[in-house]
Amino acid sequence: MKSLAAVLRRAKEPLELHERELPPPAPEEVTVRIEACGLGLADWNVAMLDALPVTPLTLGCEAVGREVVSGRRVGITPLATSCGRCASCAAGLDAHCAAATWHGFNRDGALCTVGNFSTQHLVPLPDAADAAPLAVLMGSGLVADAAVQAVRGARVGVFGLGGLGHLVLQLLGARGIGFELDPARQVGAPQKRPLDCAVVCVPSVQAIQQAFALLEPRGRLVVAAQSPHGRFDLSLQALVSRGIEMVGAHLAGASVERVLARWSDGTLQPKVTVKPLADAPASLYALRDGGHLGRLVFVP
């Protein structure tokens, strides 16, 4: 079976479309024909690493497709595999497993027409639904859910309104106040009153520092965006004296059932820009210039 994939052959080199003969799936895998796959700043940050964990590497960590043999529709999440034996896995927090593998990072992702995927964390999905928003829910939607579970307080700032941030803002409803680093993407002027909690949804030092500065004493800083080479500095004096609490939110604590329910009742409505897979190489570099309002999704 032929597969067309968007591949990084080496770090910091252009993304290429590559056709190959797909090998048979391993015993713990199934072959999935991809219907839609999201692409975001997380993919850009992987591409810009000095060295990739695996080469060549197919990008894409949130997708929807159908198993070739059974026809079952499934969601592909960022988490590919986990050990199933450690304390994190035993607690249902597989995303904290030290032996975890991740789509589009140290295991091939889903920015392709067809691929082989571990069955361990595939998500059964409804048939009668548009694939593009569902793909976004499998990655950004789950992270948004985990971030909101970590939130506390009545005034919550959301910093960065891209593929992740706009979903966090939807889930928060009236509690959420949006902050966008790019003035052109800011809707209205957010009141810069002290916040009970801040959720950072973009891997930006500026966003983290801005969020930190606006927190009330004993406020909570939830960092939901990640980058494999990101670093930031905060004042230890301010952190300790103000009693600020910092937590990370990725997939641990997220609920697929809760995300699908909020999508079904209309609370979660991902904004998507849909493009053909052939446009993926050029689109990856466009992310460097501020990305897209919502999430960029590719279809075969």
Architecture of domain 2-139+254-299: Alpha-Beta Complex (3.90)
**Residue 188's pLDDT is what?**
61
**Residue 179's pLDDT is what?**
92
* Full-model pTM: 0.93
**Residue 71's pLDDT is what?**
96
**Residue 281's pLDDT is what?**
93
pLDDT, tens digit, for every residue of 186-213?
566 666 789 999 999 988 889 999 999 9
Tokens 């789950």 found at? 142
**Residue 74's pLDDT is what?**
98
Instruction: State how far the Cα of 283 lies from the Cα of 287, in Å rounded to an integer.
Output: 7
List the structure tokens of 284: 């990856």
Q: Which residue positions in the chain have pLDDT lower than 50?
A: none
**Residue 184's pLDDT is what?**
62
pLDDT, tens digit, for every residue of 10-43?
999 999 999 999 999 999 999 999 999 999 988 9
Domain residue extents for the chain: 2-139+254-299, 151-248
Q: Per CATH, which fold does 151-248 belong to?
A: Rossmann fold (3.40.50)
